[in-house]
Amino acid sequence: MADIERHEDEGAKAFDPHLARRLLRYLKPYRARATFSVFLVILSSIMEIAGPAIVAVAIDLYVKPLQGSHVSGISQRIGAWLVGHGWALDPISGINFASAIYFIVLLGGFAVLYTQMVLMNLMGQYIMYDLRKQIFGHLQKLDIQFFDRNPVGRLMTRVTTDVDALNEMFTAGFVSIFGDIFVLLGIVGMLFWMNWRMALVLFSIVPLIILVSAWFRKGARITYRQTRVRIAAINAFLQEHISGMATVQLFNREADEAEKFEGLNMRHRDANLQSVFYYSIFYPVIELIETIGLALIVWYGGGQVLRGMLSIGTLIAFFQYAQRFYEPISDLSEKYNILQAAMAASERIFKTLDTPPRILDEGKLEIDHVESIEFRDVSFAYNEAGTRDEGRGNAPAVASPSSLVPASSPASPEWVLKNVSFSVKRGDRIALVGHTGAGKTTVTSLLLRFYEPQRGQILVNGIDIREYSVTSLRALFAIVQQDFFLFTGSIAQNISLGDESISPERVREAARRVQADRFIQRLPNGYDSEVKERGAGLSVGEKQLLSFARALAFNPPVLVLDEATSSIDTETEVLIQEAIQTLMTGRTSIVIAHRLSTIRSADTILVFHHGEIRERGTHEELMQQDGLYRKLYEIQYREAAAVA
């Protein structure tokens, strides 16, 4: 758990220009909307800045007229401009006119802000749609070993939580930060234009704001990272223990696991409380500094008004601008967390997107039938790239399928397969047997290009499989594994996997041939019955029968049975043996450590031991050799034969 926490927390930066530039690329398809949104933010900021100025002018010109030409301020300049252009108004008309202008500014600001928020939220949703689509599409291109190295929960977080963090930045952070900065600059410019001396008095407290904000950002960043790491630990713990709840209850570990969860939950609570501490200090301190700034305005500005050096309207405008000056500062501190979350999320997302597919689909040939399959001196290791053979013709160079160990790993890899060579003709039945970990399943994984061998070649119809497109190659095979998977949906959809070329009649025929229609007909809605998550509600044998029906429905030229009936009881096996034999007729079949009846009928049996083929031949030939196969038969298969 600690390793996962450290991994999740690596390299988190408050702001990374490179990541920011990559994020901005997603704005490119919507640059017109983004540009218009920025324009609206500027317009909204101008309207926000204009409000106090209108109040100041109305008071100075029509409520408390200016006395003496020595009074400085925006009101005097605007008053002179109005007189020069023939806009001299009496007090009542002037007040009405100023009120109307103020109301129009408020109404216009509302309309502009509403339009800008709608545009940014729409743009954010479109960007999130594009990003999720890109991530999921990229995940589908990655090799199986990538998913061996990365927990499912972490990958789901990339597509959901991390993308949501970017959505908040695009909708509430990116343009809002720009708007806050523009408002700050506008207020600073307006204050200096109105009275630069009093502006300097007000800004004398800015260093205090900078110090407090720096303290807050540093502390908030630490607590934010702690909170993020600890909620990730909670999510991982919950995912693991909810999935394994049956085991927890079986061994009466409820109290112990609850205690572990309490510890994780407590750490998460403490991190949030620490975050609350920084927020509870920051905002009151900012309000205190704001109050000090207002007091300075009263002290200095009031004295200026009494001496006739400042108008009352300008003093009131300073009060309003001072209050509005602190709002963007508080917002920017809040946006800092949004920006930090977005940077951390984007770093993880781009790390996933930058993971190159190790299985390169560069083959130009298409294949729709199988005449022969050949393994030629194939060696494979999960933990080390090893030394690759040269002279593979025009086969594309493929990177090592594993990065589980660093470059400094031992020169001698842990080979799962060692110089494996065998061939299969069309229509042959070949069985792979051996102890667990002997390399049997790895053979089929390499054949389907889930992984790439470090040495040797795999040929189909005499051509290296990398010369074929991955899609056409995998379409040749249907594999029924021990670890089968059912999706949420109907029974029929799980058999056809949504392939429109597979008709309902074909689905029913496949289910009938593997005897699955017996239990399907008993379901309330038959083939339209919903399959719950992971096939909940179905027995292990029923789920296995559906996986057989799925393989039959796709009708491939090559059938791979990987411990396919290990979860089926003897009675159920008797029902499907005839269907399996029928399915194998005229079809190339590769069977991995299947039940005895299928193994004995194989044309060739390959006995694997520590990644090597130690024996090969028919059942009778291997039994006569009195070797490894005979021992395996006596240990593993005799009981099954007796039951049969």
Residue 536 Cα distances to 59, 194, 487, 569, 572, angstroms: 74, 73, 10, 19, 20
Tokens coding 157: 């977080």
CA angle, 134 then 139 then 142, to 5°: 130
Residue 602 Cα distances to 565, 592, 596, angstroms: 16, 11, 10
**Which are the contacts of 243, defined by CB distance < 8 A and separation ≥ 6?**
none
Q: What is the share, in percent, of the chain residues with pLDDT greater than 70?
A: 85
The mean pLDDT of 75-102, rounded to a whole number, is 80
Residue 302 has pLDDT above 80, yes or no: yes
**Confidence (pLDDT) at 574:** 67
**Confidence (pLDDT) at 14:** 57
Residue 173 has pLDDT above 70, yes or no: no
Mean pLDDT of the chain: 81
By mean pLDDT, which of 169-183, 303-317, 611-625 is the weakest?
169-183
Q: How far apart are CA 347 and CA 353, in angstroms?
A: 10
Q: If DSSP codes are grouped into helix, strand and coil, which group holds residue 174? A: helix
- pLDDT bin (cut points 50, 70, 90) of residue 392 is very low
The mean pLDDT of 426-441, rounded to a whole number, is 88
Tokens coding 235: 């999510």
pTM of the model: 0.72
CB of 27 within 8 A of CB of 34? yes
Burial of 561 (0-12, 13-18, 19+ CB in 10 A): buried
Q: If DSSP codes are grouped into helix, strand and coil, which group holds residue 64? A: coil
Beta-carbon count within 10 A of 620 CB: 8
Residue 35 has pLDDT above 90, yes or no: no
Q: How far apart are CA 405 and CA 426, in angstroms?
A: 39
Bridge-based pairing of strands 604-609 and 429-434 is: parallel
**Which are the contacts of 448, defined by CB distance < 8 A and separation ≥ 6?**
473, 474, 477, 479
Residue corresponding to tokens 């309309």? 111
CB of 364 within 8 A of CB of 396? no
Residue corresponding to tokens 């408390």? 64
Residue 481 amino acid letter: Q
Taken as a whole, the chain contains a residue count of 644
- pLDDT bin (cut points 50, 70, 90) of residue 575 is low
Beta-carbon count within 10 A of 354 CB: 9
Domains of the chain listed by start with CATH number: 14-353 (1.20.1560.10), 486-555 (3.40.50.300)
- pLDDT bin (cut points 50, 70, 90) of residue 405 is very low
**Confidence (pLDDT) at 529:** 87
Task: Report the phi/psi class of residue 363: left, alpha or beta, with left for phi > 0 and alpha for psi in -120 to 50.
Answer: beta
- How confident is the model over 92-107, as pLDDT tens digits? 888 898 899 999 999 9
- pLDDT bin (cut points 50, 70, 90) of residue 583 is low
By mean pLDDT, which of 100-114, 250-264, 345-359, 398-412 is the weakest?
398-412
The mean pLDDT of 348-358, rounded to a whole number, is 88
